[in-house]
Amino acid sequence: MSLEKADPSELCELFRTFNAAGLIIPQSFGGLGASPRETVEILRVVGSLCPSLAVMMTMHHHTIATIVQLGGLIPAADELLYGIAQNQLLIASAFAEGKAGAEIFNSSVKATPVEGGFLLKGSKKPCTMSHNMDVIVVGVARENDDHSMTQGFAVVFNDGSEVSRERFWNTSVLQAADSNALVFNDVFVPDERMLLAEAVGDDEVATSAQETSLSGLCWFQLMVGATYLGVASALVELLLNKRNTDDVHLAQLTIDLEGAHQALIGTARELEEQRVADSSAYNKALCTRFMVQGAVERTTNLAVELLGGMAFIASDEVAYLLAASRAICFHPISRSAATPLLAQFLRESAASTPQG
């Protein structure tokens, strides 16, 4: 709880001190090269100790997962990965993670072509580490002559002059993650740090751009699940310290927590084994995330009930962890947005299964 009440800069210092900024960056770029499975394990532990830091790490690392696959698409990608690993730079994720493909972006930040690059104008919210990040990866949209929108994203180094912050996160829950609004006031981004859908040049690279977004989305769902499974685990740990808890209840908590964990590990293993992510991998990641979300809801509700009213009254820890665990349902993609994707996935899976 002391960490959850700390200034966000203290959490960012922990992030850097333990070389965690380069956790999933390949060793060839100077990172630690953690696999999806290892990352799930780590985020569950961090989520049980400091939910806000786990949220920071989720936003940073899912963006890194996207950048890792951008070699050849954004010329500065390799240089950026080296810089992150060597200097422990922290990344603010400023684009919507909602759906595969173009829907990953939205039009709240406009990109206007100028000589040598683009000017960005608009805002993104919420963005973690808003006052302590070093680099922003921001989703952008450019309006074409026919009024259609070309989507993409830009890499913006934080120089403090053209990117401003506005308070957005008013609740005390997860406030240490420093999730506020970033406002772009004609921020210049050179061509080499911009990727627009039309600029990829050929079908092969366009396909790579699609795969890149899908991979980042898969990582994101796994990281979200692991983070909040950690929060639920912290509540159950409080219960384990209480005497005379019924075995039946403990067994049910075990089934939900460890079943969810194994689902995350299994999906992470599939992501490792695939050279590139596809829509099937993304749908499986969504299934896992919502299964974990259900387990988090069930275990936290039961743990709080079994802890009892006196534990709830005695300190703010029980109420805080319960409220923090509920934030899993606010991360994209929403259940309503996922519904048609998952329904179609089931139809297609059934159609491809031999009958009889």
Query: 219: domain range?
Result: 204-349
Specify if 14 maps to a domain.
no
Q: How confident is the model at residue 148 (pLDDT cuts 50, 70, 90)?
A: confident
To which H or E segment does residue 336 belong?
A: helix 335-352
Q: What is the arithmetic mean of pLDDT over 152-181?
A: 89
Specify if 326 maps to a domain.
yes
Predicted local distance difference test score (pLDDT) of residue 216:
86
Phi, psi of 71 (to 5 degrees): -55, 125
Amino acid at 99: K
* Residue 262 scores a pLDDT above 90: yes
Q: How confident is the model at residue 197 (pLDDT cuts 50, 70, 90)?
A: low
Predicted local distance difference test score (pLDDT) of residue 221:
96
Predicted local distance difference test score (pLDDT) of residue 99:
40
- Tell me if residue 180 falls in helix, strand or coil: strand
Specify if 300 maps to a domain.
yes
Q: How confident is the model at residue 228 (pLDDT cuts 50, 70, 90)?
A: very high
Predicted local distance difference test score (pLDDT) of residue 149:
76
- Other Cβ atoms within 10 Å of 48 Cβ, number: 20
Specify if 158 maps to a domain.
no
Predicted local distance difference test score (pLDDT) of residue 98:
38
Predicted local distance difference test score (pLDDT) of residue 74:
64
Q: How many structural domains does the chain have?
A: 1
Specify if 8 maps to a domain.
no
Partners of 163 in the β-ladder: 184
Specify if 321 maps to a domain.
yes
Distance, CA of 218 to CA of 64 (rounded, Å): 13
> Residue 78 has which token pair?
């390799």
168, 125 in Cβ contact below 8 A?
yes
Q: What is the arithmetic mean of pLDDT over 113-134?
A: 93
| Cis amide bond preceding 354, omega within 30 | no
Specify if 60 maps to a domain.
no
More confidently predicted of 70 and 121: 121
* Residue 121 scores a pLDDT above 80: yes
* Residue 202 scores a pLDDT above 80: no
Over the chain, what is the mean pLDDT?
Answer: 88
What is the share, in percent, of the chain residues with pLDDT greater than 70? 88
Burial class (CB within 10 angstroms; exposed 0-12, middle 13-18, buried 19+) of 28: exposed
Of 213-217, 221-225, 305-309, which range is least confident?
Answer: 213-217
Place of tokens 């596809």: 278
- Tell me if residue 266 falls in helix, strand or coil: helix
Q: How confident is the model at residue 130 (pLDDT cuts 50, 70, 90)?
A: very high
HSE value, Cβ hemisphere, 13 Å, CA-based, for 185:
9
Which tens digits make up the pLDDT trace of 16-25?
999 999 999 9
- Tell me if residue 19 falls in helix, strand or coil: coil
Distance, CA of 150 to CA of 199 (rounded, Å): 9
Which tens digits make up the pLDDT trace of 29-69?
999 999 999 999 999 999 999 999 999 999 999 999 988 87
Q: What's 238's domain CATH number?
A: 1.20.140.10
Predicted local distance difference test score (pLDDT) of residue 198:
60
Predicted local distance difference test score (pLDDT) of residue 103:
44
Q: How confident is the model at residue 167 (pLDDT cuts 50, 70, 90)?
A: very high
State how far the alpha carbon of 40 is from the alpha carbons of 8, 22, 110, 327, in Å: 23, 15, 34, 18
More confidently predicted of 92 and 162: 92
Specify if 165 maps to a domain.
no
